[in-house]
Structure 1
Amino acid sequence: RQGGTELPPPGPWTIDPVHSSVAAVAQHLGISSVHGRFTEFGGSIEIAPDDVTKSRVEAVIRAASVDTGNEMRDTHLRSADFLDVEQHPEITFRSTGLAQAGPDRWTVHGELAMHGVVRPVGLDLAYLGTGADPWGGTRAAFRASTELHREDFAMNYNQVLQAGIAAIGTTLKVELDIQAVQGAALPAA
Structure 2
Amino acid sequence: MSGLTGRVCAAQGWPVPDAVLTVTDSRGRQISRAVVDETGAVGTELLPAGVHIAVLTAVGFEPVARTVQISSAGTGVLGEVALVPVVGAVASPPPGPWTIDPVHSTVIATARHLGIASVKARFAEVSGRLDIAEPFERSTGHAEIKAEGIDTGNSMRDDHLRSPEFLDVDSYPMIAFTGSGLRRTGGDTWVMSGELTLHGQRRSVDLDVTYGGFGPDPWGGVRAAFHAETLLHRNDFAIDYNAVVRAGVAAIGTTVELDLDIEVVHGEQLPAI
TM-score range, shorter chain: over 0.9
Checking the alignment, whether the CA contact within 8 Å between 1:150 and 1:170 is kept in structure 2 is yes
Mean alpha-carbon deviation: is it higher for 76-85 or for 156-165?
A: 156-165
Closer, same or farther in 2 for the Cα pair 1:175/1:4, shift >3 Å? farther
**Rg larger in structure:** 2
Checking the alignment, whether the CA contact within 8 Å between 1:20 and 1:176 is kept in structure 2 is yes
TM-score by length of 1: 0.95
Runs of 4+, deviation exceeding 4 Å:
none
Match of 1:10 in 2: 95
Match of 1:32 in 2: 117
- Tell me, what secondary structure is at the counterpart of 1:155? coil
TM-score by length of 2: 0.67
What is the aligned-residue identity percentage? 56
Deviation track 1:107-150 (CA, whole Å, cap 9, x = no partner) reads: 00010000000000000000011111000110000001000000
After superposition, where does 1:109-124 map in structure 2 within 5 Å?
Answer: 109-124=193-208
2:158 counterpart of 1:71: no
2:110 counterpart of 1:21: no
Unaligned runs of 5+ in 2: 1-87
Deviation track 1:67-117 (CA, whole Å, cap 9, x = no partner) reads: 111111111111111111111111110012311111100000010000000
Deviation at 1:48, TM superposition (A): 0.6
Unaligned runs of 5+ in 1: none
Checking the alignment, whether the CA contact within 8 Å between 1:4 and 1:129 is kept in structure 2 is no
Aligned equivalents of 1:79, 1:162: Cα separation in 2: 23
Match of 2:222 in 1: 138
Aligned partner letter, 1:149: H
Deviation at 1:16, TM superposition (A): 0.3
Match of 1:186 in 2: 270
After superposition, where does 1:88-167 map in structure 2 within 5 Å?
Answer: 88-167=172-251
Match of 1:176 in 2: 260
Task: Say which structure, 1 or 2, has more relative contact order (CA 8 Å, 6+ apart).
Answer: 1
Q: Aligned residue pairs: how many?
A: 186
Aligned equivalents of 1:127, 1:184: Cα separation in 2: 20
Closer, same or farther in 2 for the Cα pair 1:164/1:4, shift >3 Å? farther
Checking the alignment, whether the CA contact within 8 Å between 2:123 and 2:145 is kept in structure 1 is yes
Checking the alignment, whether the CA contact within 8 Å between 1:4 and 1:127 is kept in structure 2 is no
Aligned equivalents of 1:4, 1:144: Cα separation in 2: 18
Aligned equivalents of 1:59, 1:77: Cα separation in 2: 21
- Tell me, what secondary structure is at the counterpart of 1:86? coil
Match of 2:81 in 1: none
Match of 1:42 in 2: 127
